[in-house]
A and B are shown apart, each in its own frame.
Chain A
Amino acid sequence: DQQVKQNSPSLSVQEGRISILNCDYTNSMFDYFLWYKKYPAEGPTFLISISSIKDKNEDGRFTVFLNKSAKHLSLHIVPSQPGDSAVYFCAASAWMDSSYKLIFGSGTRLLVRP
């Protein structure tokens, strides 16, 4: 039962253009959504998050949009840079069984071409 889904395993974008990574979720109990970035041979690192009471959060070149009615969120990277090439994980947090649980999607591999 995948509660957080990233349906695109990979994405290729030209440097300078916009990268849009998508994520869908099923559990209405999620109250925070996060994006993590992972380089090869490293662990995931936190990138940006959004509360379920907001619909947009921006941090520099990164913007996350949340559409609660559609249970969909997206990460926009503008402009994309070659150093952004990595695997991006969408994650959602909910209070379950006396603790916050962080549920991850399967990841999208982004390649930014010079």
Chain B
Amino acid sequence: DSGVTQTPKHLITATGQRVTLRCSPRSGDLSVYWYQQSLDQGLQFLIQYYNGEERAKGNILERFSAQQFPDLHSELNLSSLELGDSALYFCASSVEPRDRGHGYTFGSGTRLTVV
């Protein structure tokens, strides 16, 4: 158990639907990062939050949004789902907002299947 909790582990939904993925960071970590891993692709950075505020944006589609709540958990909302959104979505957390990657702790991911 890495200390980063992602729910649900698996999600199957239809095209056009909306889903919410949840991440609870490791205790004490203020930064949360969301990554998407499509088939045979690397982890694509989506977005970072630090202590409730958006810190950095990557290749996040306009149909996707995220937020970090006062208790530091984060949610990734995916709407108007397409088949190509099927992927593993990872959440990571770290203490520092300027972590170079050494302090990232990843959750085990949510596997989203859009049918």
> Which of B12-20, B72-80, B92-100 faces chain A?
B92-100
Give A107 Cβ to nearest chain B Cβ, in Å.
Answer: 6
Number of interface residues of A (CB under 8 A): 29
Question: Could you give, for residues 29-45 of chain A, a 1 whenever the CB lies within 8 Å of some chain B CB and a 0 otherwise?
Answer: 00110100000011111
Contact among A45, A96, A103 for B106, CB-based, below 8 A: A45
Within the complex, the shortest CB–CB distance from B111 to chain A, in Å, comes to 10
Interface residues on B, range: 20 to 34
Q: Which of B2, B40, B55 contacts A43 (CB 8 A)?
A: B2
Interchain nearest-CB distance for A5 vs B (Å): 9
Any chain A CB within 8 A of the CB of B84? no
Name the residue on A nearest B38 (C-beta): A106
Q: Which residue of A lies closest to B97 (CB)?
A: A99
Using known A-B contacts A46-B102, A93-B100, A101-B56, determine if residue A41 contacts B42 with beta carbons closer than 8 Å.
no
Beyond A97-B57, A107-B42, 18 additional pairs, beta carbon < 8 A: A2-B42, A6-B42, A32-B100, A32-B101, A43-B90, A44-B106, A45-B2, A45-B106, A46-B104, A91-B101, A93-B101, A96-B56, A98-B56, A99-B98, A101-B58, A102-B101, A102-B104, A106-B42
Q: List 16 A-B contacts (CB under 8 A).
A: A2-B42, A41-B108, A42-B2, A42-B108, A43-B90, A43-B107, A44-B106, A46-B101, A46-B104, A99-B97, A100-B100, A102-B33, A104-B42, A105-B42, A106-B40, A107-B42
